[in-house]
Structure 1
Amino acid sequence: MARLILFNKPYGVLSQFTDAGSETARATLSDFVAVPGVYPAGRLDRDSEGLLLLTDDGRLQARIADPRFKLPKTYLVQVEGEPDEASLAALRGGVVLKDGMTRPAEIERIDPPELWPRDPPVRFRKSVPDCWLQVTIREGRNRQVRRMTAAVGLPTLRLVRWRVGEWTLEGVMPGAWREVGV
């Protein structure tokens, strides 16, 4: 039976088990998950937080990570600025990035979610408003959500992946993991 682990990757942790070639030690998955034979199904940037799926099953890993399967990925995104309807419509329709047009995204403005504090905290500026969006995409380009929000003038301050397909981060605290049946 395949193993599937839901890991809440903290800010600053690499989505890999080793950090070869770095002159300074950076936190990796091996600092949190001591389960032999599992590998990440997809990636999450070092400066992003949230759900990272780990499995020992190559087919499951491909189904989760391969854009051909269009598995939805939902993010809670704190952006700098107040989005207007034109910005939200642009994100919903797809935006042009250097590597081409993105697929349409589901975008919803949300109340600030009840999340754990981030270490280090997101910078706060009295004169610049921020807001939260729930963003669901069905592809996974490098730093895609950050690049999409920046393309419409809303730089990302904090990004938390909350859901991948049917799996959610519900009840898993930062640095913790839970194994689920597949």
Structure 2
Amino acid sequence: MGYQYVLFYKPYNVLSQFSAGSTPPAPGSAPRLTLKDFIPIADVYPVGRLDFDSEGLMLLTNHGRVQHRLSEPRFGHPRTYWAQVEQVPTQAALAQLRQGVSIKGYRTRPCQVERLAIAPPLPDRDPPIRYRQRIPTAWLAITLQEGKNRQVRRMTAAVGHPTLRLVRQAIAHLRLGELQPGQWRHATAAEQRWLQQL
């Protein structure tokens, strides 16, 4: 059997792994959903992670070299996120994000940040984000070359704009495209060629 490359739109409140681990759910809460609840393919593994409360594109594969190249920090590759943040960031706040901010004793690398003129075409989240009539929100497109734990959330909070919703839109040349939350597809021939050239 050859290499497999699976693109998956991870929904909100789903673990980025195939087992729920040893931590039981809180009393009265439903069992935590995992990748196993959505992807019926054996022996593929996630390349990197998305937080439980984040959404968007994940790549799963059985190709160890691809997994290593996309996970190893020294081979930095772009990952683009759409972040809905509280308030409307000023140009100064955007410049701060682009230059790098200090979070937990670490200074983030320079990155690309743009404010989106309109909200991206995303399905509604279940459950929806909290809505406050007196607090406006804005959407940012943030492209990082690194992936520290909860990095985007910590970066936007550091400049005074907490993230309310976070969706990974792209991993290098791979895109969410037409996928909906919980859906997956095999990589196209062109995507496979790019991955195999890593």
For the criterion TM > 0.5, the same-fold answer is: yes
Q: Report the AA paired with residue 5 of structure 2.
A: L
* 1:107 corresponding residue in structure 2: 113
What is the deviation of 1:45?
0.2
Q: How far 1:67 sits from its partner (Å)?
A: 1.5
Aligned position for 2:91:
85
Q: After superposition, where does 1:47-126 map in structure 2 within 5 Å?
A: 47-110=53-116, 111-126=118-133
Task: Report how far residue 26 of structure 1 moved.
Answer: 0.3
> Could you tell me which residue of structure 2 aligns to residue 155 of structure 1?
162
Letter in 1 for 2:160: G
Task: Measure the CA separation in 2 of the matches of 1:63 and 1:171.
Answer: 26
Q: Take 2:83 and 2:75, find their aligned partners in 1: how far apart are those partners? A: 23
Separation of aligned partners in 1, 2:146 and 2:165: 20
Give the aligned residue type for 1:122.
I
Shift of 1:61: 0.6
Q: Distance in 2 between matches of 1:153 and 1:2?
A: 44
> Which amino acid in structure 2 is aligned with residue 83 of structure 1?
P
Q: 1:164 aligns with which of 149, 154, 171?
A: 171
Q: Distance in 1 between matches of 2:179 and 2:72?
A: 24
Partner amino acid, structure 2, of 1:134: A
Instruction: Name the CA distance, whole Å, in 1 between partners of 2:170 and 2:76.
Output: 13
Q: Pick the aligned partner of 2:135 from 122, 128, 136.
A: 128
The share of aligned pairs that are identical, in percent, is 52
Structure 2 counterpart SS, 1:14: coil
What is the letter of the counterpart of residue 169 of structure 1?
L
Gap regions ≥5 residues in structure 2: 26-30, 193-198
Moved over 6 A (4+): none
Q: Alignment partner of 2:40: what SS?
A: coil
Give the total of aligned pairs: 182
Give 1:22 shift.
2.2
Query: Which residue of 1 is the match for residue 185 of structure 2?
Result: 178
Q: Deviations over 1:4-42 (max 9, x none)?
A: 110000000000000121222200000000100100000
Structure 1 equivalent of residue 23 of structure 2? 22
Q: RMSD between aligned alpha carbons? A: 0.8
Unaligned runs of 5+ in 1: none
- Bigger drift between 19-28 and 6-15 goes to 19-28
Cα distance in 2 between the residues matched to 1:95 and 1:20? 33
Partner residue of 1:39 out of 29, 42, 45 = 45
| Shift of residue 99, structure 1, vs aligned partner | 3.7
1:51 is paired with a residue whose SS is: strand
Check if 1:3 corresponds to 2:10. no
Name 2:28's counterpart in structure 1: none
Partner letter of residue 158 of structure 1? R
TM-score (norm 2): 0.90
